[in-house]
Copies of this chain bind each other. A is one copy, B any other.
Amino acid sequence: MSHVMRFARKGTVEHIPIEQCYGRHLGEPLVASHQVPPFNKSPYDGFAIRACDTSECTRVQPKRFEVIGTIGAGALFEETVQQYQAVRIMTGAAIPDGCDAVVMLERGRHYHEAGTDFVDFNYVVKTGENISFAGEDTEAGAVLVTEGEPINPGVTALLATFGYAQVPVSRKPTVGVLSTGSELLEIGEAMEPGKIRNSNAAMLQAQIQRAGGEVIYFGQCEDDLEASLSRVEAAFEQVDILLTTGGVSVGDFDYLPAIYEWMQANVLFNKIAMRPGSVTTAAEKDGRILFGLSGNPSACYIGFELYVYPLIRSFLRSDSPYRRQAHAFLGADFPKANPYDRFVRGALTIQEGVLIATPVGLDKSNVVTSLAGADCLIMLPHGTKGYERGAQVTVFLLEDEKGASRSGFEQTIAIH
């Protein structure tokens, strides 16, 4: 992991209108620009009074208060409240001068007599009762959300509260996708014998967007060293991260080492001791990374989530750039023995509060559709036996926005 992550860099910060910030990532810490509440206020509809005036109130001997006004939310009461006076106050309104308690609406007997409003209270009210005090929730200057955090509805509410009409967000990294493989048809093309449509490019574009990156798609090219080489080099100049998929790294047509060498890129690894995805490669040039992902859809998907995703989240200034990990119990047998750590796509269910992770696509008849339902990667450490239903496993959550500060796995990586 660290082979790639030591080249992680933080993107710059840009400002956008708050209406557009949902789903982006904070470019700076979100700071409370004032205390919360900003003033002493009433959390309920009721009557603002001086608590000391109720010291002798009892059920038998209620005291009568004159209601000298009403304060709606947003309004201020201009006078100072005196002995045995009350002010009708709405939820959220500022406590008038002189008052130090609020009695809830239903606890006073409110009536009109000879042109004047009155309210009777029949119990002793404590000083401070039903008052939300200025600053009791948050002090001015407090850091409320750290930089790099994804902006969800709750964060948006905080941004609005503290006046961030323009929100500092991390610039999205541009992530290029270049598919290689002579077997690939464009999505719009009719099927031909021996060929398949290019599904990895579209899948990766969605994965990049889910991670928070900006996609630049460079199309596809044939398994041809010369052509691949110039296409890869040209694409790399235009992006923060470049992903190639397929052909060039399969079987006899593995051109990536030659391409990396020609580009004078520094190879970080060219084999990973995991399945699928062992053909994943990474190289660095000028502080930027290019990845060679497998043409196999599962391997491509998993290689992205484990290696590319953290680089994107770091660029977005997150200090939890990795996929969040959790323990879960295996929902089905996984009979395959494996000399390498294996990652399989899975679907999470929750049964009586327990997390169950079931590999998808084990049934051949189901492999295509089930991938649509995957929301985790299940890590199955290498071993000579398979795994049984109920075994405790580590899963990496794919529909999570919290992330993790550690990768959660160690790979033996071969450098060429």
Chain A contact residues, CB within 8 Å of chain B: 18-19, 21-23, 32, 34, 36-39, 45, 70, 72-76, 88, 90-94, 136-138, 142, 144-145, 149, 151-165, 181-184, 186-191, 193-207, 209-210, 215, 217, 223, 247, 250-253, 295-297, 301, 326-329, 345, 350-355, 364-365, 367-369, 371-375, 392, 399-402
Contacts and interface: CB of A to CB of B under 8 A. Distances in A.
A252 B22 contact: no
Contact of A138 (B182, B251, B368): B368
A64 to B, nearest CB: 21
A352 B365 contact: no
Given A73-B182, A90-B251, A202 B159 contact: yes
Contacts of A297: 157
Given A19-B215, A182-B74, A197-B161, A154 B327 contact: no
B371 A191 contact: no
A58 to B, nearest CB: 26
B372 A154 contact: yes
A199 to B, nearest CB: 4
Contacts of A21: 206
A186 B161 CA distance: 10
A160 B199 contact: yes
Contacts of A159: 187, 202
B187 A165 contact: yes
Contacts of A201: 160
Contacts of A155: 372
A76 B195 CA distance: 9
Contacts of A161: 196-197, 199, 368
A372 B138 CA distance: 14
Contact of A18 (B187, B189, B375): B187
A323 B364 CA distance: 31
- Closest A-B pairs by Cβ, 8 of them: A74-B183, A73-B183, A160-B202, A326-B350, A157-B203, A153-B206, A165-B188, A74-B182
A19 B191 contact: no
A137 B352 CA distance: 33
A154 B373 contact: yes
A38 B182 contact: no
22 contacts: A22-B206, A72-B182, A72-B183, A73-B250, A73-B295, A75-B182, A92-B196, A94-B193, A137-B364, A138-B365, A145-B372, A153-B204, A153-B210, A154-B345, A154-B372, A154-B373, A157-B203, A158-B369, A158-B372, A160-B198, A326-B353, A373-B402
A297 B39 CA distance: 17
A159 B371 CA distance: 12
Contacts of A373: 154, 402
Given A32-B368, A39-B193, A355-B355, 4 more contacts: A19-B202, A72-B252, A74-B194, A162-B197
Nearest to A77: B194
B193 A76 contact: yes
A251 B92 CA distance: 11
A155 to B, nearest CB: 5
A200 B354 CA distance: 34
